[in-house]
Amino acid sequence: MKIQPGAKKPELSELSRIRDRITFLYLEHAKLNRQDSAIVVADNQGTVFVPAAIISVLMLGPGIDVTHRAMELMGDSGMSVVWVGERGVRQYAHGRALNHSASLIEAQAKLVSNKQSRVAVARQMYQMRFQGEDVSQLSMQELRGKEGARVRRVYKEESQRTGVPWSRREYNPDDFDSGTPINKALTAAHQALYGLSYSVIVALGASAALGFVHTGHDLSFVYDFADLYKAEYSIPIAFSMVKKYGDDKDIGSRTRLAMRDAFVDGKLMIRMVADLKMLLGDSNKAEAETLNLWDDRMGLQKFGVQYAEHEDNHS
């Protein structure tokens, strides 16, 4: 039998809980390998050994070379891997979610499949945007109207703050350069926020498609989730960038970099993790891998039992 080099695969009980890990680690222009239970990160400044079990989500930016053995360790350690643009801006692909339990996505599916619970979560998301106001009795139509008025007010206030003219939100997704400077900046800022929201959602094992306000798209929940932070992040940053750079041909790139810095400085990713768990009713159970067999009468049954033999012994 061939002996597998390196450390043995850890038991899930040995791994750090999600809340005890470093939330996100971003790497770029480096070579990644494995030594025992550590990821070896080497670049032109030197070599660093990163214990795999303390990382929640590893963001792989431009210029990363990663070996098969390093990816094996990441998977064994319950680490979510996301391939992104520079400094986490734009999300391109992701590996297995950090949370191997299906409890979060099952809770999400249950909440979105019932009209009352779906409305309750939608109201909760709107309530997060209307601090100090009670929206618990408003219909979805009333909430949409109230949210529309809030967003228009935010645009107007940011225009007054920065002196950047504002009329309305308009853009052509197939022709970015045809937009006005502020609309190009807003598009770039919102896209960066969508990418970060997607990364958090998939890292925790929730579904990007099962939205409560938006629906019918494979990123519906991403749009729901990102809307919680636009008034605080993407909208003011976009207006500030246009105030500073005007009709710069690189306004989109400059805005993405500003969003990147805001994500790092404002600890937004940590806040997103807490908000997502709160919205989906996370029970703070141990993040351990569980696998059961479903039974319509007897409930969950233990996996790994030879039930044919079990029945024979009792016949």
| Other beta carbons within 10 Å of 106 | 12
The rounded distance, in Å, linking the Cα atoms of 289 and 79 is 13
User: Is 227 annotated as belonging to a binding site?
Assistant: yes
- Whether 312 is in a domain gets the answer no
Q: How far is CA 90 from the centre of its chain?
A: 11
Q: DSSP characters for 122-187?
A: HHHHHHHHSTT---TT--HHHHHHHHHHHHHHHHHHHHHHH----------TT-GGGS-HHHHHHH
User: Is 214 annotated as belonging to a binding site?
Assistant: yes
Model-level pTM? 0.72
CATH number, residue 77:
3.100.10.20
Number of domains in the chain: 2
Q: Please write the tens of the pLDDT for every residue from 183-233.
A: 999 999 998 899 888 878 887 889 999 999 999 998 999 999 999 999 999
Which has the closest alpha carbon to 84: 95, 73, 75, 70?
95
Do residues 64 and 205 both lie within one domain? no
Q: Please write the tens of the pLDDT for every residue from 157-181.
A: 999 999 999 998 887 777 777 789 9
- Would you say how long the chain is, in residues? 315
User: Is 11 annotated as belonging to a binding site?
Assistant: no
- Whether 286 is in a domain gets the answer no
- Domain boundaries, position 124: 103-279
- Whether 220 is in a domain gets the answer yes
Average pLDDT, the chain: 82
Q: How far is CA 184 from the centre of its chain?
A: 23
The rounded distance, in Å, linking the Cα atoms of 88 and 81 is 12
